[in-house]
């Protein structure tokens, strides 16, 4: 019998146990969909302080992970991803991971992130050895685990990993911490890698960059973003590598977890609804208006925002435009955390406002309530690798107002009033003027063209945003990665769904 393809996700985040953004959503959902295709997908994460190991199995064998000139002694815990059969491993090392944050403390920097995530990246190999489960593919995510592909080509290039390939998914090319060159020995990847076509970046170490050179295949999270990062405007200084590796770079649109984000079953919202019966959505709107002390008005357009607060997301332009937006006769609810100045401006503007509410911080339940209650969802990102909230919104019949960029452009169809087709409203350039004009257009359709708005809602809710399509594409990418690593030839154009054939031993 042929063994199923083995894929180890090595990641810094995984929803719902540890999530800072969309990366965590992908790692928490894609392995489930891959297992449905017969792929043995598993996940390795750090055991952060907020993750309880209560009830998990602890592996009793000692686990030493090389780090610098010594070894870091770790523990390994095993459980399964909630509501799934996906094995989920936690690498425990208190000095590195027993912290209340994933990347950096609030208002500061963790100065040892090269060591922390270097430990996780190398830990992937030691954990595989300990489990006697050698992955065919290491699937790594953004800079935190980009050292794994480098290690696979350097300090771990011998048996048992000689035939293992790597796939690096770029969730956001702009996040590229640089570490001092003196950190390089920590990773044990050799001084010779301190060169511009590996980790060296103007005298410092850029692990993400090195991973881009060393991975067997590269993916990113939408087709449009895969094009944008090949350009100087979108490549955050690494566009030349994206062009160099262009033949190995593929954009695969993220799916969403349709079980978690389902208005017919969502436990966080006060009433359920579907494309066939939208009446529960009105109940959700009334409940949110009540909860946030907004006027109880079924006809006022309610606009939601759920976002990290930073310039990527264009939330600064939303905050600049609040007066003009409210003058359109809308209610605006913003949930977000991030940039302290933006947080403060939101808080101040929210005080005594009749129709604007700000909620500062991370609040999973409120994010569901906002998606369910709002009529429109605002997401005018300056760049957006994929974006999830515009997909959640469409699923909840909440029409997104987005900038035509990256995954937002790929997943939202702009309303064409002549044909009545569309699931949202798009602006091209981002400015106060274009933002207010586009919101005015959307509010007008909501108020004065109700049948058209309803038709758009139903079209949006009926779209397929599940993971199965993406999982098929990733399975093909794993095949190509193995082909590059092993030089084995097989057809990638067959539609045969038996992906075990990729596990050529």
Query: 202: Cβ–Cβ under 8 A, 6 or more apart, which residues?
Result: 178
Secondary structure of residue 7 in the 3-state scheme: strand
Instruction: Please state, in angstroms and rounded to a whole number, the distance separating the CA atoms of residues 418 and 214.
Output: 49
- C-beta of 21: minimal distance to ligand ADP in Å? 3
Q: Are 216 and 488 in contact (CB under 8 A)?
A: no
Q: Which residues bind ligand ADP (CB under 6 A)?
A: 21-22, 25, 306-308, 335-337, 362-364, 367, 386-389
- C-beta of 379: minimal distance to ligand ADP in Å? 8
- C-beta of 448: minimal distance to ligand ADP in Å? 30
- C-beta of 343: minimal distance to ligand ADP in Å? 10
- C-beta of 230: minimal distance to ligand ADP in Å? 20
The residue among 286 and 308 lying less far from ligand ADP, judged by its C-beta, is 308
The residue among 70 and 361 lying less far from ligand ADP, judged by its C-beta, is 361
Produce one character per residue of 387-415: b if its CB has 16 or more CB atoms within 10 Å, e if not: bbbbbbbbbbbbbbbbbebbbbbbbbbbb
Tokens of 213: 């050179």
The residue among 136 and 257 lying less far from ligand ADP, judged by its C-beta, is 257
Secondary structure of residue 47 in the 3-state scheme: coil
- C-beta of 388: minimal distance to ligand ADP in Å? 4
The residue among 220 and 307 lying less far from ligand ADP, judged by its C-beta, is 307
Strands (E), 118-199: 137-141, 165-170
Instruction: Please state, in angstroms and rounded to a whole number, the distance separating the CA atoms of residues 402 and 3.
Output: 44
The residue among 4 and 407 lying less far from ligand ADP, judged by its C-beta, is 407
The total of other beta-carbon atoms located within 10 Å of residue 296's CB is 11
Instruction: Please state, in angstroms and rounded to a whole number, the distance separating the CA atoms of residues 99 and 219.
Output: 30
The residue among 116 and 368 lying less far from ligand ADP, judged by its C-beta, is 368
The residue among 87 and 424 lying less far from ligand ADP, judged by its C-beta, is 424
Name the closest residue to ligand ADP (Cβ).
Answer: 22
- C-beta of 386: minimal distance to ligand ADP in Å? 6
DSSP string, 315-369: HHHHHHTHHHHHTTT-EEEEEEEE-HHHHHHHHHHHTT-SSEEEEES--HHHHHH
């Amino acid at each position: 019998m042929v063994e199923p393809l083995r894929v180890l996700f090595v990641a810094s985040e995984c929803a719902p146990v540890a999530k800072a953004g969309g990366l965590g959503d992908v790692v928490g959902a894609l392995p489930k969909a891959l297992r449905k295709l017969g792929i043995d997908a598993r996940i390795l994460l750090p055991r952060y302080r907020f993750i309880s190991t209560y009830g998990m199995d602890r592996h009793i064998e000692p686990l030493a992970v090389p780090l610098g000139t010594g070894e870091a002694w770790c523990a390994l815990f095993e459980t399964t991803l909630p509501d799934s059969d996906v094995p989920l491993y936690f690498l425990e090392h208190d000095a590195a991971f027993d912290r209340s944050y994933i990347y950096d403390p609030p208002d500061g920097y963790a100065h040892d992130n090269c060591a922390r995530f270097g430990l996780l990246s190398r830990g992937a190999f030691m954990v595989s050895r300990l489990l006697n489960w050698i992955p065919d593919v290491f699937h790594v995510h953004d800079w935190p685990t980009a050292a794994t592909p480098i290690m696979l080509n350097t300090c771990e290039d011998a048996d048992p990993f000689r035939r293992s390939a790597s796939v690096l998914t770029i969730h956001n090319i702009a996040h590229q911490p640089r570490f001092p060159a003196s950190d390089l020995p920590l990773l044990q990847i050799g001084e010779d890698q301190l060169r511009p076509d590996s980790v060296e970046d103007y005298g410092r170490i850029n692990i993400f960059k090195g991973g881009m050179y060393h991975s067997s295949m590269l993916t990113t999270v939408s087709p449009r973003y895969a094009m944008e990062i090949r350009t100087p405007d979108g490549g955050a200084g690494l566009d030349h590598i994206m062009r160099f590796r262009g033949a190995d770079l593929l954009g695969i649109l993220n799916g969403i977890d349709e079980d978690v984000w389902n208005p017919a079953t969502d436990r966080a919202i006060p009433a359920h609804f579907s494309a066939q019966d939208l009446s529960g959505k009105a109940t959700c709107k009334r409940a949110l208006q009540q909860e946030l002390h907004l006027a109880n008005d079924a006809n006022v357009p309610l606009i939601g925002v759920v976002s990290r607060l930073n310039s990527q997301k264009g939330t600064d332009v939303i905050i600049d435009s609040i007066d003009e937006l409210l003058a359109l006769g809308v209610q605006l609810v913003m949930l977000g955390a991030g940039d302290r100045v933006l947080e403060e401006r939101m808080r101040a503007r929210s005080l005594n406002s009749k129709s604007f509410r700000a909620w500062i911080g991370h609040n999973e339940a409120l994010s569901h309530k906002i998606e369910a209650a709002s009529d429109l969802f605002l997401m005018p990102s300056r760049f957006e690798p994929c974006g999830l909230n515009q997909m959640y919104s469409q699923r909840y019949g909440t029409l997104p107002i987005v900038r035509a960029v990256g995954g937002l452009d790929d997943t939202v169809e702009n309303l064409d009033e002549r044909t009545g087709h569309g699931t949202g409203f798009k602006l091209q350039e981002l400015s106060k003027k274009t933002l207010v004009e586009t919101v005015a257009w959307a509010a007008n359709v909501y108020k004065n063209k109700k049948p058209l708005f309803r038709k758009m809602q139903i079209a949006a809710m009926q779209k397929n945003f599940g993971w199965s399509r993406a999982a098929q594409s990733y399975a093909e990418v794993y095949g190509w990665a193995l082909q590059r690593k092993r030089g084995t030839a097989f057809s990638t154009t067959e539609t045969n769904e038996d992906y075990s054939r990729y596990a050529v031993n």
